[in-house]
């Protein structure tokens, strides 16, 4: 029995039941890669998938600035409001945690499984988004003292 495919199928089912298309689409794509025996894609995705995902996420976040919906004056005003300053500080902290998370995940692959399961559960049942593994790994690295 192919347990990897079974786990992917269960996770896809969780995505469907919870109404989370992100989880469902990701699991179905991975299942299709397994079924079509396109196994060379896995090593490529492991190597570049995270970077590509972060690039796409950054493009999505920066689009309002690029499209002109957020002006330079609005950006400058963000340095004058306490909520914006707090948002900047939180952004710095999260970026730092994400960096620690990448280091921990690449140095201790055994941790990745737990982080991924927790992230999928968070996405499927708590309306989260799948950027959690990096930040979760960063928090974990602070707790266990690893970088």
Residues of the chain with pLDDT > 90, as a percent, come to 14
**Residue 41 located in a structural domain:** no
**Residue 46 located in a structural domain:** no
pLDDT at residue 28 greater than cutoff 90: yes
Q: What is the pLDDT of residues 123-139, one digit of tens each?
A: 778 877 776 667 777 77
The structural domain count of the chain equals 1
Overall average pLDDT of the 11-22 stretch: 81
Contacts of 142 (CB under 8 A, 6+ apart): 97, 100
Q: How far apart are CA 147 and CA 141, in angstroms?
A: 6
**Tokens representing 145?**
């003292």
**Residue 91 located in a structural domain:** yes
**Residue 64 located in a structural domain:** no
Residue 106 or 46, more confident: 46
**Residue 78 located in a structural domain:** yes
Number of helices followed by number of strands (H, E) in the chain: 7, 0
- Residue identified by tokens 């988004």 is 129
SS3 label, residue 69: coil
Contacts of 67 (CB under 8 A, 6+ apart): none
Q: How far apart are CA 12 and CA 27, in angstroms?
A: 5
What confidence score (pLDDT) does residue 33 get? Answer: 94
**Residue 66 located in a structural domain:** no
**Residue 122 located in a structural domain:** yes
What confidence score (pLDDT) does residue 29 get? Answer: 94
Which of 127, 133, 142 is CA-nearest to residue 111?
133
Range of the domain at 128: 71-146
User: pLDDT-derived band of residue 67, with 50, 70 and 90 as boundaries?
Assistant: very high
Overall average pLDDT of the 83-97 stretch: 86
User: pLDDT-derived band of residue 147, with 50, 70 and 90 as boundaries?
Assistant: low
Q: How far apart are CA 55 and CA 53, in angstroms?
A: 5
Q: Yes or no: say if 124 and 23 are a contact pair by the CB < 8 Å rule.
A: yes
Q: Yes or no: say if 147 and 104 are a contact pair by the CB < 8 Å rule.
A: yes
Q: What is the dihedral of CA 118, 97, 72, 83, to 10 degrees?
A: 80
Overall average pLDDT of the 14-43 stretch: 87
**Residue 29 located in a structural domain:** no
Cα end-to-end distance, the chain, whole Å: 37
């Amino acid at each position: 029995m192919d347990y990897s495919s079974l786990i992917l199928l269960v996770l896809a089912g969780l995505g469907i039941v919870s109404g989370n298309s992100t989880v469902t689409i990701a699991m179905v794509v991975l299942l299709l890669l397994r079924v079509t025996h396109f196994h060379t894609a896995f090593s490529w995705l492991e190597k570049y998938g995270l970077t590509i995902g972060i690039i796409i996420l950054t493009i999505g976040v920066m689009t309002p600035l690029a499209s002109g919906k957020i002006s330079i004056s609005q950006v400058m005003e963000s340095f004058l409001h306490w909520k914006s300053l707090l948002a900047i500080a939180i952004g710095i902290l999260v970026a730092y945690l994400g960096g620690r998370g990448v280091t921990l995940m690449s140095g201790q692959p055994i941790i990745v499984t737990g982080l991924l399961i927790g992230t999928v559960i968070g996405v499927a049942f708590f309306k989260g988004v799948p950027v959690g593994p990096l930040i979760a790994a960063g928090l974990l690295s602070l707790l266990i003292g690893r970088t």
